[in-house]
Chains A and B, each alone.
Chain A
Amino acid sequence: MVSVERNKNIKVITGNEACAEGALVAGLRFFAGYPITPSSEIAEILSMELPKVGGKFIQMEDEISSMGAIIGASLAGLKSMTATSGPGFSLKQENIGYASMAEVPCVVVNVMRGGPSTGLPTLPSQSDVMQARWGSHGDHPMIALVPNGVRETFDLTIRAFNLSERFRTPVILLLDEIIAHVNEKVELPDPAEIEIWNRLRPVDPPESYLPYKFTESDVPPMASFGEGYRFHVTGLVHNETGFPTNKQPEITKFLTRLNRKIERYTDEIIQTYCDYDEDAEIGVFAYGSTSRSARRAVQLAREKGIRIKFLRPTVIWPFPQKQVEDLARSVRKIIVPEMNLGQMAHEVEWAARGNSDIIRLNRIDGEPINPLEILNLITEMVS
């Protein structure tokens, strides 16, 4: 990390560096991971930085155990994270579902590279956006964030921790190879000014503590192992006590709460940036590094006098359904550029409910989408 100015916290860093730094600011104290391009620098940096703050780093034998270890550490009270890429992300899925089911806060970084399988290890892609939502089996809620640059990676890493702590849930941070490795000049905020959320702690004494209590907020307070609470944690469907249940009303009640706990806060979780021209007929929906190209294309189109609406989510799960529906009602066509075969376009189409046509612009060859490709499509559509 190169500091360019003395007093201000201005640096030239990569997305992976910003992620590691954001995690430390958020209070990360345990990292477990397994090397994989293009995420390995996050582990390398944290192996260096965590012991300096009394935190712990471990390189596990695979991604499955890395995911297991961060869940264990979080239950024992430490903010925990792992980082990986496509193949490793697939391996983590069973335990991501466990974290969701057992309501264990943790952050999973997936630096997207081209797939399927070993795919394109050193080249960018956005083809894990659906795996982020549905990679683990069963009906589970999910939060996934997609930054579009280095500074936003710093911010959203902190937000990932905050959301995971607040909602007792795993949060996925989706970077891609471009963001992970590009160097950008960023001014990082003073850590003292950054808002940090911590999990709600129980106020009940151990005798009456229910680890999965139904509360008004739907998020039960969480004790740590070793503090005198002696609770049980399982991936089996359980009731308020944490012990398994097969009773139908209890099953429905628990699984409903588990999913509702994220659904009902969707408006608070979702963040979108929109830049709308009045009376535009064309909309662009883009996320992650592709949104940078899209942004540029929109600027160039405007220079040509084309009116356009640009919508960029930083949270894709839960999906910004209302925002997309509103956009779809106000334009005739929405372009969705993405480095996959149209995974998000599918979701946009669903949210648009037939109010506008969805035009896909896809690349799967490991090359970023060029602003001119998007611009050409826009100009073609107007003429």
Chain B
Amino acid sequence: MDYMKYIRRKNFPLIWCPGCGHGIVMKAILRAIDRIGLQKDEICMVSGIGCSSRLPGYVDFNTLHTTHGRAIAFATGVKMANPNLHVIVITGDGDATAIGGNHYIHGARRNIDLTVILFNNNIYGMTGGQVSPTTPIGARASTAPFGNPENSFNISGLAEAAGASFVARGTVYDAVQLDKYIEKAILKKGFSVVEALTPCPTAYGRRNKLGNGVTMMKELKERSVSINKAKNLSEEELKDMIVTGVLVDRELPEYTQNYNMLIERVRETKS
């Protein structure tokens, strides 16, 4: 497919480091959009702040780069104002689940029709490798020089518990699967999350001696296990593993539709 159709070439070079996985997720998103056949004008891409959140600047849609953690809040306004737009949220693990955790939870609870692509690199990339809510316990970060003493989040599980209608997890190693999840997520009416595991060799890999982008991707592959296989594994066997696949796909009332029905009801009784 022709990626350049969607790219704002004049904004190159990208800010991403060599070996960063964010570009692979970007391509997966574009493949999904292309396969669905969405028009560029129908898409509004909204991001927070972080390396991942710089993505919207590079793609030729209606694009909104907001404040740290608030992408889902801004996106909620865009979607309510114009429900015809396909609103895709681009966010990092820090952006969505630390500073923006509350909006992530409540977006899922409302089940508002947003597609959230969550770039999980287990670290704050942009600000130089501080711990994030998904940094594994014991891992080193610039603010955890003796190893992270905190427990980490299962952020897909969080979306499920909060009421999202679709949740999937994939890795940039398996980019072909990733674009399928993204395609499904965009097509799903409701709050959909695709957690994309992506390496940050610069801010996470180096400090934890995980090698370059390629070795980190291989490691993602080795640790991946599909949801089907995972069903037969014990909790102990699943420790440190990445369960991939469509984790949640369910029908729940969607917020903008509900609100439009409310408007119709109110206007009928009024007239």
Interface hits, A25-81 → B, CB 8 Å: 29-30, 32, 51-52, 54, 56, 58, 60-62, 64-78, 80
CB–CB B266/A51 < 8 A: yes
Question: Number of residues in B with C-beta < 8 Å to the partner?
Answer: 41
Task: Say which residue of A29, A32, A68, A78 sits within 8 Å of B67 (CB atoms).
Answer: A68
Chain B 69-87 near chain A by CB (<8 Å), digits 1 or 0: 0101111111111101100
**Is B188 an interface residue, CB under 8 A from the partner?**
no
Closest-CB distance, B72 to chain A (whole angstroms): 8
Q: Are A235 and B102 in contact (CB under 8 A)?
A: no
User: Chain A's nearest CB lies how many Å from the CB of B52?
Assistant: 15
Question: Across the two chains, which residue of chain B brings its CB closest to A77?
Answer: B81
Q: Which of B41, B78, B84, B270 contacts A72 (CB 8 A)?
A: B78
Q: Tell me whether B64 is interfacial, beta carbon within 8 Å.
A: yes
Cβ contact within 8 Å between A72 and B75: yes
Contact B77 A235, beta carbon cutoff 8 Å = no
Question: Nearest Cβ in chain B — how far from A273, in angstroms?
Answer: 36
B62 and A68 contact, CB distance less than 8 A: no
Chain A hits for B84, CB < 8 A: 226
User: Does B263 lie at the interface of the complex (its beta carbon under 8 Å from any beta carbon of A)?
Assistant: yes
Q: Kindly provide the distance from the CB of B13 to the nearest chain A CB, expressed in whole angstroms.
A: 13
Q: Is the CB of B82 within 8 A of A225?
A: yes
The reply to whether A75 and B64 form a contact with Cβ atoms under 8 Å apart is yes
B residues 38-85 with Cβ under 8 Å of A?
40-42, 44, 46, 56-57, 60-67, 70, 72-82, 84-85
Q: Check if B78 sits within 8 Å of A61, measured CB to CB.
A: no
Given contacts A51-B263, A231-B62, contact A226 B77 (CB under 8 A): no
Query: Which residues of B, 202-255, contact A by the 8 Å Cβ criterion?
Result: none
Complex-state Cα separation, A232 to B54, whole angstroms:
11
User: Number of residue pairs across A and B with beta carbons under 8 Å?
Assistant: 140
B270 touches A52 (CB 8 A): yes
Q: Does B106 contact A (CB under 8 A)?
A: yes
A76–B70 touching, CB < 8 Å: no
Q: Which of A52, A58, A69, A77 contacts B74 (CB 8 A)?
A: A69
Question: Closest B-chain residue to A225, C-beta based?
Answer: B62
Pick from A29, A51, A70: contact of B267, CB under 8 Å: A51
Could you list 29 examples of A-B contacts with CB < 8 Å?
A: A51-B262, A54-B267, A56-B81, A58-B259, A60-B76, A65-B76, A65-B106, A68-B76, A69-B74, A69-B77, A69-B80, A71-B66, A71-B74, A72-B81, A75-B77, A75-B78, A76-B44, A76-B77, A76-B81, A78-B81, A98-B66, A226-B85, A227-B41, A230-B63, A232-B56, A232-B57, A234-B65, A235-B65, A235-B67
Residues of A near any B CB (own CB < 8 A): 29-30, 32, 51-52, 54, 56, 58, 60-62, 64-78, 80, 94-95, 98, 224-236, 243-244
